[in-house]
Structure 1
Amino acid sequence: MTRPTYGTIVLLLLAWCMVPPSVCAQESDDLETMDIAQLMEVRVTTASRRPDRLSRVAGAVSVITEEDIARSGASSIPEALQLVPGVHVTRMDTDKWAVGIRGFSNMFGNKQLVLINGRPITSPTFTGVFWNNQAVPLSTIKRIEVVRGVWTSLWGADSFNGVINIITKTAAEMNGGTSVTRVGTEGLEQTLSYGMHVDQDTDVAFFGKGSYSDGLSMRSPDGSARSTQEWKQGSTGLRVDWDNAFTDTLSFEAAGALTRSEDGAGVMRPKYPAGFSNENHSGYMQFTWDRRTGLDAGVRFRTSYSADGMSMGDFRGVVNLVDMEVLHAMLQNGSHRFTWGVGTRVAWDDFDASDHIRIEENQNTRFDANAFVQDRITLHDDDLFLILGLKLDYRDSGFLGLQPTARLLYTKDNQELWIAASHARRSPDRWSEDGSYRIDYQGHTYTLENPGGLKNERLYSLEAGYRQIISPQLEFDISTYVNHYDSMTHISYDESTYTATVDNDMWGTAYGMEAAADWKLKERLTLRPSLGVLVQNIRGGDEEWTRHNPTGDPIYEAKLFSMLDILPEVGFNTLLQYRACPTEDDFDPTFTVDASLSWQARQDLKLELIGQNIFDDNDKSSPLENDPSFSVRATWKF
């Protein structure tokens, strides 16, 4: 069967699934309210910086639950993010991922902010996320909130195209012991966690995780690149929660991780000779204090320290970050509900120059400050709201950015309609302005020299969306957007001198839509189809960027996540993904299938057989191809 045929089947299935059948409406009166209605009442925090019902959010929001993560068979956070419409995930190497929201998907993607319990893990130096350094065990994650679109009015310049907030379980929710063992063709992983009550108000939990992969499952068909091999990681951490049921909750978290590998540098830019040793160490501490001052109102203080060190061949460096913020979610005052906050962060780094990389200043300290305010104004009864927000970002480099947004929300009778207009600005990162390194491009080695004096990137966005609970078994969500980008940074190459420079002359427009449904077709079968369409008219990008992000032609991405309970104790889950740009000759379509079979052998023991990339199809964004992999996972509660 050819790839277009696969895509046709998936698209037809999505179209069929998104049409609410009359039978479903007839049966809804006879069935109890299912999880869909309850899901709309789940309180999310990322979209408003305070707990709000999902049915009261004026934006495109997806929530990946603990059950979703377990049933997807994912072994990493990027794999779990594949469940979200509008989020494109590509495995680039054994330990490297490219994650993008609404385009701009690359390994050092800097257009979305990533948080863990509100703590930013987007690097203040590289403004990207090193996913191979993140060692949060999936079994400790409670949910992942993904808001797509421009949220800079709440989260600042790093949240250009969206925010990913990973929320872990409290110590009380981790009470007891859990062992998760995964062994397969790619390697093995072992996680242990244990939580206990210290007294009536205090809980503590510990975790440890070890992982190994030989890296041999990823390969380059033409031999031009080599995968990272002998990848090993160990991590440990703890969490302590003190909860006074009346007013206060205090939480302390700390964790550390060490990663070692023999890096093939097959996808790295700059491109090192294959076989250099790579070592990364990271750690953090975070303290959070929540004080409740009323119904849906309170004050939060959060502060954290994190350090990330790297050693890649003869290049070494460390990045430190201290951040602090105070948030105040105020009580409703007439038709107004204010939320405001102030924050600051100090980042300092230290790098040693190497034969391949140098930076203008080996040591650098950067100070940022910010403040935001948001008002949700009730315009009519309890169904029409106007949300106005503004954030001020200040950086000691002289950047002063105003990030405004206006959102209108109408909600009534299990329906929501929202529109939004936003403006965002972000200053260049340290490596764009000060870094110098070598790049292998089209068979030649270029030396990248940064001229400095780069302008701020700008984004103007219009969004709209509609969400409806059609029946207790069917929920539908669609969002559309138009983004205009200006002064975007990219790399230009000079063939006469074999030098490269970072410029600000990439600009253009991207528009698209994402549609998703949550359909409990039968008592034991749930389907979650989604379809994303993205059209980018971006000018000025280098040839490699354009090859992976076609300009002027629509990119289609269809997903279908199904959860089937064959028996009460036996489940079968599949994730089908299809991505194509039919009118772009160089953009090969991909069709991937992941599947898992689970058996709840005992109340305290669950066994799973997991297959990933079963049909051996690969996203051509990476020069490395990923072989099909199979693993067995055992989860034991004690």
Structure 2
Amino acid sequence: MHQSPHFTPDQPPSPSLRSGPQRLCRWRQGAALTLLALAAQLACAESAQDPMALSLEELMNIEVSSVAKKPQRLLDAASAVYVLGREDIRRSGATTLPDLLRLVPGVQVARIDASRFSVSIRGFGNRYSGKLLVLQDGRTLYSPLFSGTYWEVQDVLMDDIERIEVIRGPGGTLWGANAVNGVINIITRQAGETQGVYAQATAGTQERGMALRYGTSLGQSGHLRAYAKLDEHDAQDVTPGVSANDGGHSARLGFRADLKPAAGDSLTVQGDVYDTSARENVQYSTPYPPMTSFVPSAAKYSGSNLMLRWERTRNSDESWHVQSYVDHTALTDLLHHQSVLTFDTEWQHRIRLNPAHEITWGLGYRRVMDEIQGSYTLEATPVRMSTSLYSGFVQDEVRLGDDLQLTLGSKLEHNDFTGFEWQPSARLLWRLSHNDSLWGAVSRAVLTPSRSSRDVQMKRDTLTGVPGLPVPVLVRVEGSQDMVSERLVSTEIGYRSQISKELSVDVSGYYNRYEDLVTVSPGNLRFDPAPVLPMKFGNQMNGHTYGVELSGQWQVNPAWRLKGGYGWQHLRLRATPGSNAVLAFGSEGSSAQNVLQLSSQHRLGNDWELDANLFYMGPLKSIGRRSAFGPSESGRIDGYTRLDLRLGWKPRPGVELNLIGRNLLQRRHQEYIGDDITASQVPRSVLLQATWAY
């Protein structure tokens, strides 16, 4: 059991981040404004439609590129894909990427504390879960040390995002290992679309920020933009009146240049540099009692990246591109210092051989060099490591008829941990009509072992009251060199239709079979010199999930659009016979079985907008680490309903003011549960945002 978090470690933690300014307004004042806006919405019978908004027919014909690594109509995508467009992003009121992803049906987002999030698709919700591949303009954002994503450092100016494409389901055939349960691809706008000056300022009860962007022409050859962004988050409460010590701040600079060196050629160069600090409570161990407890700490993240992409389009039947990037990240906290340098390059070629066959194929190479300087609590052996990944893929789109298309493909990778891995898929699309499509898919995907499960040893917890032992027993989680890749075989089916000009629906179902899931299991008690219970990483669990996902849009009138999404899933996991292992990251109950989303976008007049987003998340349950001396501990949080409102005003072209209220139905609630990190209460908050473009 955890001890009281009162003792001070050998190194004193950094001083607390300064608290935020006094609240801008009371919640009741914000609620009064939103009620007035709702009354105005009901009174508004006719209004002009926003010229930036797309009709439902245009939305169904929008091009996506993440499913087949080439542009294709959304209606022609044989996958459970959802596109979050510019208008949705602008009207969301979100200031972080995870909050923005709440709008995507099938994506489960849980706020852990003021800076950290858990984002998952089709189960296995956890801060360190690695079954979701996240990319920005083709650059992977996950950490190779645990194959997951540090969401607290993933940031971008919202106005720079062209769209976010979310694939629910495996994408390993094109994107490689770790694209197991889904792919999130953040696609930013070209520099030519962001010319002039853009400024944004936000101030609220929980956060403040500002951003500045400038775009200019490079003559006949192209365009350039550069931006700077600052943000600060106040600490939340772990219980009413008790600070969670989780505030943070971040600073980010970046640029993008798009050039046209010759006809048919395009060259993109972009890069970012950032510095982020986030306070936290971490498990800290000492060789003397109380041995293990949660103590305050400050995590400092920094990084930089530079990417170059060259594309050539010879004609409508052939194109190729080469993309290379270098990415450096560093994290320092009370337990360790980690540094990762990644070099990645890929080449892709698309060619139509004849009217019935279009081939897309490519080659890739990635080199990762990392260093983990540990402490008594956390150790890595070896401290430094370099790994290489070689990959190649091929995909053939076969037209079986005017209305039937079969897509076959596979990716072959070689990594230094498990050797060769193959990830094939077969997808069949049947166009029932111009506005209806039915699709099915069978895919295989893998999640390769990470450094955290192979080479890291962490003193994790303390057990007291063990029979025959008057002193506490230290629980030590130990990596294993015998780790193998997790494997998934997924079967999916879906239907997508634009029923009328005003109504569209999208429904999908899936059955996923998992093998060799990453687990931890207790070993034999030993003395080193104090009593230690080892918990060894392994692959001693199999299981399956199945579920249904439904989403739709309804254009009520030219000024009012409703969107909705519902997801239901069932997860069943079993340890291998004779094993008492538990899932290493998350549990069967760490993702909600039922999730509901409802959104309303209403234009109240030429200058006013009112948007409402309602979310329901079912109850969550976490199973504690199993020991050899007793049953597992478990925790639970009840389901919750969250309402976010945005009232927008455009007093003149280029100027926009937004009043945003979040979590308006409750004073505070908890969204995450797990035994690996302390979660805080998400409070009700109000935010005022102003943007200016010239």
Q: Which residue of 2 aligns with 1:380?
A: 401
- Answer yes or no: is 1:473 the counterpart of 2:506: no
Match status 1:633 vs 2:689: yes
Report the counterpart of residue 219 of structure 1 in structure 2. Answer: 238
Partners of 1:201 and 1:608 in 2: how far apart?
Answer: 37
1:42–1:267 Cα change, 3 Å: farther
Distance 1:450 1:115, change over 3 A: same
Once the 2 structures are TM-superposed, how far is the Cα of residue 442 of structure 1 from its aligned partner? 8.0
Determine the structure 1 residue equivalent to 2:173.
Answer: 153
2:320 pairs, out of 273, 281, 299, with: 299
**Secondary structure of the structure 1 residue equivalent to 2:59:** helix
- 2:56 paired residue number: 36
Aligned to 2:572: 537
The C-alpha deviation readout for 1:197-218, integer Å capped at 9, x for no partner, is 1102210100000111221x34
1:366 CA displacement = 0.4
RMSD: 2.4
Structure 1 position 238 matched with structure 2 position 267: no
Deviation at 1:271, TM superposition (A): 8.3
User: In the TM superposition, what is the alpha-carbon distance from 1:386 to its structure 2 partner?
Assistant: 0.4
Deviates more, 1:67-76 or 1:574-583: 574-583
The match for 1:595 is 645
Mapped partners of 2:461, 2:648: distance in 1? 45
Contact 2:128 2:585 (C-alpha < 8 Å) held by counterparts: no
Task: Sort the Cα spacing of 1:314 and 1:440 in 2 relative to 1 into closer, same or farther, 3 A.
Answer: closer
State the alpha-carbon separation in 2 of the partners of residues 507 and 396 from structure 1. 24
TM-aligned CA distance change 1:583 to 1:36, over 3 Å = same
User: Which residue among 598, 617, 629 is the counterpart of 1:560?
Assistant: 598
Report the residue type matching 1:548 in the other structure: G
Q: Is the 8 A contact 2:129 2:585 kept in 1?
A: no
Counterpart in 2 of 1:432?
A: 453
Per the TM alignment, residue 287 of structure 1 is displaced from its structure 2 partner at its CA by 0.1
Q: Residues 226 and 274 of structure 1 are in contact (CA less than 8 Å); yes or no, is this contact kept in structure 2?
A: no
Residue 50 of structure 1 is matched in structure 2 by: 70
What's the secondary structure of 1:264's corresponding residue? strand
Are residues 193 and 531 of structure 1, via their aligned partners in 2, closer, same or farther at CA, if it must alter by over 3 Å? Answer: same
Is residue 612 of structure 1 aligned with residue 662 of structure 2? yes
Other-structure match for 1:354: 375
Give the direction of change, closer, same or farther, for the CA distance of 1:136–1:403 in structure 2 (3 Å limit).
Answer: same
Q: Distance in 2 between matches of 1:85 and 1:256?
A: 32
Which of structures 1 and 2 has the bigger CA Rg? 2
Displacement, 1:624?
1.5
- How many angstroms apart in 2 are the aligned matches of 1:404 and 1:505? 24
**Preserved contact between residue 418 and residue 465 of structure 1 (Cα < 8 Å):** yes
- Once the two structures are superposed, residues 208-231 of structure 1 have per-residue CA deviations (whole angstroms, 9 ceiling, x without a partner) of 00111221x3424596x93412x1
2:587 is aligned to 546
Match of 2:269 among 249, 252, 264: 252
- Please tell me whether the aligned partners of residues 66 and 185 of structure 2 are also in contact (alpha carbons under 8 angstroms): yes
C-alpha separation in 2, matches of 1:218 and 1:490? 32
The within-5 A match list for 1:94-133 is: 94-133=114-153
Match of 1:487 in 2: 516
Choose which of 462, 472, 487 in structure 1 pairs with 2:491: 462
Q: Does 1:516 align with 2:545?
A: no
> Counterpart of 1:38 in 2: which secondary structure?
helix
Distance 1:345 1:208 in 2: 29
Task: Structure 2: state its 5+ residue gaps.
Answer: 1-52, 286-290, 465-472, 526-531, 576-581, 623-634
**Secondary structure in 1 aligned to 2:89?**
helix
The structural deviation recorded for 1:582 is 11
- Cα deviation 1:24-46 (Å, max 9, x = unaligned): xxxxxxxxx96111112211110
Distance 1:211 1:442, change over 3 A: farther
Aligned to 1:164: 184
Kindly indicate whether the alpha-carbon contact (under 8 Å) linking 2:636 and 2:673 is maintained by their aligned counterparts in 1.
Answer: no
**Distance in 1, Cα, partners of 2:566 & 2:606:** 30
* SS of aligned partner of 1:488: coil
Q: Write the distance in 2 (CA, Å) between the matches of 1:582 and 1:92.
A: 13
Distance verdict in 2 for CA 1:631–1:271, change over 3 Å = farther
In the alignment, which residue of structure 1 is the partner of 2:16?
A: none
Distance 1:318 1:537 in 2: 36
The secondary structure found in structure 1 opposite 2:91 is helix
Q: Distance in 1 between the 2:398 and 2:278 partners?
A: 53
* Distance (Å, rounded) in 2 between the aligned partners of 1:343 and 1:91: 35
- The one-letter code matched in structure 2 to 1:402 is W
Q: Secondary structure at the match of 2:482?
A: coil
Contact 1:596 1:611 in 2 (8 A): yes
- 2:390 match: 369
Name the counterpart of 1:265.
Answer: 282
Q: Which amino acid letter does the alignment assign opposite residue 504 of structure 1? A: N
Tell which deviates more after alignment, 349-358 or 83-92: 349-358
Q: Deviations over 1:344-388 (max 9, x none)?
A: 10000012121211101000000001000001100012x100000
1:62-211 superposed matches below 5 A: 62-211=82-231
Contact 1:94 1:218 in 2 (8 A): no
- Alpha-carbon distance between aligned partners in 2 of 1:179 and 1:486, rounded to the nearest angstrom: 49
Secondary structure, in 3 states, of the residue corresponding to 2:302?
strand
Alignment CA distance shift 1:580-1:271 (3 Å): farther
Q: Distance in 2 between matches of 1:222 and 1:101?
A: 33
- Counterpart contact for 2:489–2:512, Cα < 8 Å: yes
Contact 2:67 2:79 in 1 (8 A): yes
What secondary structure is seen at the aligned counterpart in 1 of 2:517? strand
Give the match for residue 394 of structure 1. 414
Tell me the residue number matched to 1:579: 617
Residue-pair matches, total: 598
Contact 1:156 1:393 in 2 (8 A): yes
Name the CA shift for 1:139/1:583 in 2 (closer, same or farther; >3 Å): closer
Say if 1:463 and 1:222 are closer, same or farther in 2 by CA, change over 3 A.
farther
Code of the residue aligned with 2:551 in structure 1: it is A
Offset at residue 537 of structure 1 (A):
0.8
Counterpart of 2:435?
414
| Deviating more after overlay: 389-398 vs 203-212 | 389-398
Secondary structure in structure 2 of the residue aligned to 1:313: coil
Say whether 1:621 aligns with 2:621: no
**2: CA distance between counterparts of 1:441 and 1:141?**
46
2:246 alignment partner AA? T
Secondary structure (helix, strand or coil) at the match of 1:274 reads: strand
Change (3 A) 1:532 1:130: same
Q: Please give the alpha-carbon distance, in whole angstroms, between the structure 1 residues aligned to 2:480 and 2:459.
A: 15
The share of aligned pairs that are identical, in percent, is 30
Q: What amino acid is the match of 1:524?
A: A
Q: Give the conservation status (yes or no) of the 8 Å contact 2:437–2:497.
A: yes
Query: Is the 8 Å Cα contact of residues 454 and 504 (structure 1) preserved in structure 2?
Result: yes
Verify the 8 A CA contact 2:284 2:294 in the aligned structure 1.
no
Cα shift at 1:326? 0.4
How far the C-alpha of 1:154 sits from its partner, in A, is 0.7
Q: 1:134 to 1:445 in 2, by over 3 A?
A: farther
Mean CA deviation greater in 203-212 or 615-624 = 615-624
TM-score (ref. length: structure 1): 0.89
More displaced 10-residue stretch of structure 1: 485-494 or 175-184:
485-494
The alpha carbon displacement at 1:67 in A equals 1.3
C-alpha displacement at 1:543, in angstroms? 9.8
Cα shift at 1:331? 2.5
